[in-house]
């Protein structure tokens, strides 16, 4: 189904590959100016080769301050898609280390909060009625074996979505 989003400016995170590369291309083909953020430069380079209007941003969302600095540079945006994430399956719930749990929560949940804070503050300042899309998972509402940090990250994402909607919706 075609959408006409001509003139809209949207940032997508984790756009190097997977779901979000497709989202970035679809938004671009629907008329958006797309800012594509991802950790690894190579996949972003090929994305820009295929769609030269896409603006690449190389950033590791685990680095809160660097990501914030890079997101403050683009013009005020109409939309943000928080997608950057890692799958995490491997250990029984009693065996996950603090380090592994924190890495998944930092990547999948806290990074989305960081990006949302920067982008929405600009939206509010510029009086833009924008949209934020958070990519969650069935794992946010169901438990699956050996996925403790992943299901926690997606359940947290669902609540963060509700909280931002409650506070920013008006
Ligand atoms: N695939 C599924 O079946 C499925 C189902 C439900 C929900 N989801 C959710 O959908 C989202 C995308 O999944 P996917 O399967 O498309 O993932 P993917 O193919 O692994 O792609 C993830 C993208 O995010 C980037 N990324 C990962 N960590 C990053 C970091 N620290 N900083 C910046 N970018 C980072 C990756 O960059 P690199 O190129 O550096 O790796 C990659 O471009 C995730 O949030 C996932 O939880 C996926």
pLDDT digits (tens, 9 = 90+) for 106-157: 999 999 999 999 999 999 999 999 999 999 999 999 999 999 999 999 999 9
Q: Whose CA is nearest to atom 15 of ligand 1?
A: 18
Confidence of residue 54 (pLDDT cuts 50, 70, 90): very high
35 counts as catalytic: no
- Ligand 1 within 6 A of CB of 55: no
Task: Round the average pLDDT of the chain to a whole number and report it.
Answer: 96
pLDDT of residue 164: 97
86 CB near ligand 1 (under 6 Å): yes
The whole-angstrom separation of Cα 1 and Cα 115 is: 28
SS3 (DSSP) at 127: coil
The stretch 15-30 carries a mean pLDDT of 97
Residue 2: band (very low, low, confident or very high) from pLDDT cuts 50, 70, 90: confident
Residue 59 in contact with residue 107, Cβ under 8 Å?
Answer: no
Tell me the pTM: 0.96
Instruction: Find where tokens 């949207």 sit.
Output: 10
| CB distance 19 to 83 below 8 Å | yes
- Is the pLDDT at 98 greater than 80? The verdict is yes
Residue pointed to by tokens 């075609």: 2
Q: Measured in angstroms, how far is the CA atom of residue 17 from the centroid of ligand 1?
A: 7
For residue 127, report the distance from its CA to the centre of ligand 1, in Å: 31
With a 6 A CB cut-off, is 158 part of the ligand 1 pocket? no
Distance between Cα 170 and ligand 1 center (Å): 31
The answer for residues whose C-beta is within 8 angstroms of residue 75's C-beta and 6 or more apart is 9
pLDDT on residue 30: 96
pLDDT reported for residue 82: 98
Pocket test for ligand 1, best of 25, 37, 39, 141 (most atoms within 8 A of CB): 39
Q: What percent of the chain has pLDDT over 70?
A: 99
Q: Is the CB of 83 under 6 A from ligand 1?
A: yes
Tokens linked to 6: 């001509």
* Residue range 82-108: mean pLDDT, rounded: 97
Q: pLDDT at position 75, please?
A: 84
φ/ψ bin of 18: left (φ > 0), alpha (ψ from -120 to 50), beta (otherwise): left
Longest C-alpha distance within the chain, in Å?
50
- Predicted local confidence at residue 51, as pLDDT: 98
33 strand-pairing partners: 9
Across the range 24-37, mean pLDDT stands at 97
Walk me through the domains of the chain, giving residue ranges and CATH numbers: 9-163 (3.40.50.720)
Quote the CA–CA distance of 105 and 153 in Å, as a whole number.
5
């Amino acid at each position: 189904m075609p959408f006409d989003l001509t003139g809209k400016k949207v940032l997508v995170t984790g756009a190097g590959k997977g779901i979000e590369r497709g989202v970035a291309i679809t938004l671009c083909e629907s008329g958006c100016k797309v800012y594509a953020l991802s950790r690894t430069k190579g996949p972003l380079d090929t994305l820009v080769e295929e769609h030269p209007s896409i603006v690449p941003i190389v950033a590791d969302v685990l680095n809160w301050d660097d990501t914030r600095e890079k997101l403050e540079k683009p013009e005020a945006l109409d939309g943000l898609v928080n997608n950057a994430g890692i799958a995490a399956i491997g250990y029984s719930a009693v065996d996950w280390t603090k380090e592994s749990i924190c890495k998944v929560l930092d990547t999948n949940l806290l990074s989305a909060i960081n990006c949302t804070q920067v982008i929405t503050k600009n939206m509010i300042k510029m009086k833009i009625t924008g949209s934020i899309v958070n990519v969650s998972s069935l794992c946010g509402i169901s438990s699956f074996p050996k996925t403790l940090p992943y299901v926690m990250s997606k359940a947290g994402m669902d609540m963060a979505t509700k909280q931002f909607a409650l506070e920013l919706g008006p």
